[in-house]
Amino acid sequence: MPSVKPSSESEDRNARLERLDRTIRAASAQRTLYSGVLAGRLGMHQTDLECLFIITLGDKVTPGKLAQETGLTTGAITGVVDRIERAGYIRRVRDTADRRRLFLEPVPEKVEDIRAINRRAFHAWMRELSRYSESELDLLLDFAEKNYDAAVNATVKLRREAREAAE
């Protein structure tokens, strides 16, 4: 995918929206490919790595919340959580207020191993983002949050449809 060029006066709104969509999908594909390479380097399944990212980015993530965000069944999530825990990246921690509930807590020193690998790409990305003004960052943050919500909803819906079709 070529780098994004500034829009021209002759490029209409629909063409710009289509170009934006293509660029986002291309970036998503590259992140997926990167994630696969990283998971292989760590000796993990790619789904496990993506779930670990969700756990590290969340607050008080439960297996149920992880299942909801990924669209995976609770049985599949149990297997994912078991593998991530065996690899040492998370631990299950009981909720002190409700002993029936447990949280998936990242193990900081193990997660740092992954962050060390990602640091070079992260710094390059932060340099790019630093070019934007505060108001532009607010717009990008709003866009990213809506993009994330739409991706979660689409994933859950597609998995649900696949399960229903298999029944």
Q: For 41-77, how does the pLDDT look when each residue is reduced to its tens digit (9 = 90+)?
A: 999 999 999 999 999 999 999 999 999 988 899 999 9
- Give per-residue pLDDT as tens, 27-44: 999 999 999 999 999 999
Helix (H) or strand (E) holding 65: helix 63-70
Mean pLDDT of the chain: 90
For residues 90 and 52, the answer to whether their CB atoms sit within 8 Å is: yes
Interatomic CA distance for residues 34 and 52, integer angstroms: 15
Q: Is the pLDDT of residue 6 over 80?
A: no
Cα–Cα distance measured from residue 100 to residue 84, given in angstroms and rounded to the nearest whole number: 21
pLDDT at residue 149 tops 60: yes
Q: Tokens representing 138?
A: 């607010």
Residue 5 has a pLDDT of 58
| Average pLDDT of span 81-87 | 97
Q: What is the pLDDT of residue 4?
A: 55
CATH number of 44-131, picked from 3.40.50.970, 1.10.10.10, 1.20.1340.10, 3.40.50.1360: 1.10.10.10
Percent residues over pLDDT 90 in the chain: 65
Residues 126-153, mean pLDDT to the nearest whole number: 92
Res 125 pLDDT > 70: yes
pLDDT confidence band for 99 (50 / 70 / 90): confident
pLDDT of residue 160: 87
> Looking at the predicted structure, is the pLDDT value of residue 2 above 90?
no
pLDDT tier, 10 (very low <50, low <70, confident <90, very high otherwise) = low
Res. 9 pLDDT band, cuts 50 70 90? low
pLDDT given at position 151:
87
Helix (H) or strand (E) holding 79: helix 74-86
101 backbone dihedrals φ, ψ, rounded to 5°:
-100, 145
In the chain, where the domains are located: 44-131
